Amino acid sequence: MASQDSLPPEFDRGVVTTIHQGDCHVSSAIDVTFSTVLGSCISACIRDVSTGVGGMNHFLLAEQSGAAKDRYGASARYGAFAMEKLINTVLSKGSGNKANLDIKVFGGGNINASLNDIGAQNIEFIREFLKAEGYKSSAQDVGGAFARRVLFKPSSGRVFVKRLDSATGANLVREEIAIAGVQKVSVPAHDDIELF
């Protein structure tokens, strides 16, 4: 992660809530920042622009396989459930008007060749999901061969994205492999910063 000195001022203070795989958090508090680290996972940052209620989710796979579906049921680790949960929570705590939603999407990196480019599948899923539901993303940073740290201020809608080095990406690969059940290979390094 970028040092605290390199963060824009609005991101370097207040309460930081880490969003892990399967999480979905919503708030309108001015001092709240949601933070997550993404490899091939996707996070959506959704905000009701009329009320300042916003939230972030984090999912690894677009959908469950048949065996996992039977064993675990619906889970926020999976795209459709994660997106529906986040959208419905923001709507219920916000204005309830879908036209007021601002949606930004991040992640979907191809950080490990042995993950069968789950990132690309996740990007395809999120684009199809938003299109089918009649939404468009106002900003996105998806794809590539690197991990990302994403910080989101739900009250303002601002997002800070830092592309991470290979050591951080390698740790994400180990976590994602444990979930996806495949073998590990190397991760390339990048170090860029974007603010939306």
Residue 114 has a pLDDT of: 63
Which carries the bigger pLDDT value, residue 33 or residue 169?
A: 33
152 burial via Cβ count (<10 Å: 0-12, 13-18, 19+): buried
140 close to 166: Cβ distance less than 8 angstroms: no
CA distance 116 to 11: 34
Pair type for strands 137-142 and 159-163: unpaired
Q: For each of the domains in the chain, give its residue range(s) and CATH number, in order of start.
A: 4-195 (3.30.1330.200)
CA distance 60 to 63: 9
Three-class SS string for the chain?
A: CCCHHHCCHHHCCCEEEECCCCCEEEECCCCEEEEEEECCCEEEEEEECCCCEEEEECECECCCCHHHHHHHCCCCCEHHHHHHHHHHHHHHHCCCCHHHEEEEEEECCCCCHHHCCHHHHHHHHHHHHHHHHCCCEEEEEECCCCCEEEEECCCCCCEEEEECCHHHHHHHHHHHHHHHCCCCCCCCCCCCEEEC
Residue 177 has a pLDDT of: 52
Tokens of 62: 């677009």
Residue 152 has a pLDDT of: 97
pLDDT of residue 44 exceeding 90: yes
Q: Is 90 left (phi over 0), alpha (psi -120 to 50) or beta?
A: alpha
Residue 179 has a pLDDT of: 52
Which carries the bigger pLDDT value, residue 25 or residue 6?
A: 25
Q: What is the pLDDT of residues 71-103, one digit of tens each?
A: 444 454 588 999 999 999 999 999 999 999 999
70-79, 116-125, 183-192: which is most confident: 116-125
pLDDT of residue 157 exceeding 80: yes
pTM of the predicted model, to two decimals? Answer: 0.79
pLDDT of residue 9 exceeding 90: no
